Amino acid sequence: MNAFAAAAESTTGWTIGYVITIAVVLVVVALVVPILLLAASIGKQAETINDSLTESVHNTSALRGLTTTIDHAEVITAGLHRGRTRLGG
């Protein structure tokens, strides 16, 4: 009977260890799964965002010439100002 009690005590420690290990693994899984689901959702939205940004680049490419337009407008308005000044206006 003494050997049985010793065996029961040694397996109790192992049982507690297994229960704690399983609990920790379940907690980690419960924390990691939502993170992975969120990452997958972000990955799906990233493709849509990238497509939208590509379209925006295409739609705004004409704005590169805006600096040239502004420079020409300044030259024109300066010429108009000189003309008014010479005409006395």
Q: Is the pLDDT of residue 10 over 90?
A: no
Tell me the mean pLDDT in the region 60-82. 91
Kindly state the percentage of the chain with pLDDT values over 70.
89
Q: What is the pTM of this model?
A: 0.48
Predicted local distance difference test score (pLDDT) of residue 63? 87
pLDDT over 80 at 2, yes or no: no
C-alpha distances in angstroms, 23 versus 29, 35, 55? 10, 19, 49
